[in-house]
Amino acid sequence: MEWVETTGRSIDEAKNAALDALGVAEDDAEFDILEEPTQGLFGRTRGEARVRARVRPTQARQKTERRNPRRKPAGEKTNSTEETSGEARPERSNTRGRNNDRPRQAKPAGEGNRRPPREPRDDDRPKGDPVDPALVSAQAVTFLTGVVNAFGLVGTVVVEREGEELEAQVNGDDLGLLVGPRGNTLLALQDLTRVVAQRRLGDHDTRLRVDVAGYRERRRDALTRFALKVAGEVVESGQPRVLEPMASADRKVVHDALSEQTGVVTRSRGDDPYRQIVVEPAQSGE
C-alpha cells in the first residue's frame, strides 16, 4: 500500500487532508505523525503538522482458543470448607455397592477434559500470508451474484484487476436499488463484499472496489463538471463557496479536479460524515 504525505496547521487538519487524498474514511487508514507544530508565544503555534498515511491493510479475524470453563488449574482447591477450616474432610464412603477399596488413580493435570487436536484449517493461515487475488475475485463474484439474485434483479458480475487493485463490476439494467441515494447503498455493499472476500480470507495486499452499472464513472464525471462550474463562479465573484458534505471518495474527486485549476484552491473542514470542501480564490502567487 502506498503512503501519502500531507501537512496542515494541526495534526487533525493534516490527517483530514490525507483522508481526502486517499479517498477513505478514518477507520480505513493508518497514520504516522512525522512532525508536530510547536507552541510559541501568546498561545500561537509555529510550524506545520506533517503526517503520512496509507489505506489500512485488512486484518484477518483472530480465532480465540476454546477452553472448558469447568476445568480448573492443577492443584486448585474446590472445597471452600477445606480452605477455611484448615482440615481436610475424610473421604466419604460409598454405600451404593461400588468398589470402595479400589484406590483411585490420579490423572495427570490437564487430562480428562482435554480435547483431541483438530486438523488445521485453511483459515488458520498466519496473518500476513499472501492470498491469491483470483481467490479474492471468486469470493467477490459469488457474494455479489447472491445479492443480485436475493433482490430479484438481473445482472452479471465481473472483476477487473490492475496490479493490487480489484474492481468488481455489477452490470445490468434497473440496478438502482443497489446504488441508493448518493451511492450510500453501494458503499455499504462494498464494505460487505470486502468482509466476505478479503477479511475472512486474511487478504492484506489487494484493494477491492465495487461498482454497479457504471455508477462510479458517472458520479466522477458529474462531480468534475460541478467542481469546474463552482470554480468559475468563485473566480468571477471572488467569494469562497462551501460545498455540501460529501463522502471521502467524492471529496477526492473534487480536490483532484481543481488541483490544477488556476485561480482557486480547495481545502476541507469539519468531521465525517459532515465534512465539507471549501473552494476559495487563490492568493497572489498561488
Q: Max CA-CA distance within the chain?
A: 105
Rounded CA separation 52/58 (Å): 18
215-286 folds as: Ribosomal Protein S8; Chain: A, domain 1 (3.30.1370)
133-213 folds as: GMP Synthetase; Chain A, domain 3 (3.30.300)
Residue 97: the pLDDT is 44
**In CATH terms, are 133-213 and 215-286 the same topology?**
no
Residue 123: the pLDDT is 44
- Region of 228 (left: φ > 0; alpha: ψ -120 to 50; beta: rest) is alpha
Residue 58: the pLDDT is 61
DSSP secondary structure string, 13-58?
Answer: HHHHHHHHHHTS-GGGEEEEEEE-PEE-GGG-EES-EEEEEEEPPP
Measure the CA angle with vertex 90, ends 88 and 94; round to 5°: 145
Residue 49: the pLDDT is 84
What are the mean pLDDT values of the chain's consecutive 10-residue runs (286 residues total)?
A: 81 84 78 79 69 74 48 49 43 46 47 42 51 89 95 94 90 92 89 90 86 92 94 94 89 92 92 90 73
Residue 135 CA to chain centroid, in angstroms? 20
User: What pTM does this model have?
Assistant: 0.53
Per-domain residue ranges of the chain: 1-56, 133-213, 215-286
Beta-strand ranges (E) seen in 138-189 are 155-162, 165-172
Helices (H), 58-132: 80-85
